[in-house]
Structure formats: C-alpha cells, structure tokens
Amino acid sequence: MNKSDLVEAVAAKLTNLTAKDVEAIVGIIFDSMTDALAKADRIEIRGFGSFEVRVRKARKGRNPKTGESVELDIRKVPFFKVGKELKELVNK
C-alpha cells in the first residue's frame, strides 16, 4: 500500500470528506510524524507500533561496486518497532 492507496481507502470509509480533504489530512499526519522524528521525538501509536530515532556508530563500510573500504560517519536512522496487537494480528 502506498500513500495514494491509503488516501483512497480512508476516503472510501469517510464518505463525508472529499478525497482532496483526506489527502490533505494524510499529508498533515505524515508531515507531523516527520517533524517529530526530525526533533528526535518518539511516536507511539497504541496497537500499531512506535517510531524512534536511533544513532548508528561510525564504522568502516565497503563500496559494493569497487570493494574499496569506506569510512561511514555517525548517523541517525528512523526505527519502527511493531506493537503487540499488530504482531498478533499479522501472525494469525
């Protein structure tokens, strides 16, 4: 499912809103989540999961094309941890 599929699914369930309104709402939600993660805030959606920013240490990597050793700097990466209810639902 991509963003446009999500907008269509939500618009189908919320018949009192237009697809354009739903698209704006979904965009605002994603923008808010992105802003929160950019500030290193944690996002928790009960029953679904949580998003957080984790720090990866500096390390040596390898360029897969040339095989050359490359130094990778410290970096922040988004991380998603699935919630218990979603995990159980998927594994049903």
- pLDDT digit string, tens, across residues 42-91: 999 999 999 999 999 999 999 999 999 999 999 999 999 999 999 999 99
Domain match, 26 and 58 both: no
Domain match, 57 and 84 both: yes
30: confidence class by pLDDT, cuts 50, 70, 90? very high
Mean pLDDT of all residues in 17-36: 95
| pLDDT of the residue at 37 | 96
Domain match, 50 and 79 both: yes
| pLDDT of the residue at 69 | 95
29: confidence class by pLDDT, cuts 50, 70, 90? very high
| pLDDT of the residue at 56 | 95
CB atoms within 10 A of CB 18: 11
How would DSSP label each residue in 37-81? HHTT--EEETTTEEEEEEEEPPEEEE-TTT--EEEEPPEEEEEEE
Domains of the chain: total? 2
- pTM, two decimals, is 0.79
| pLDDT of the residue at 12 | 94
Q: Which domain holds residue 31?
A: 1-39
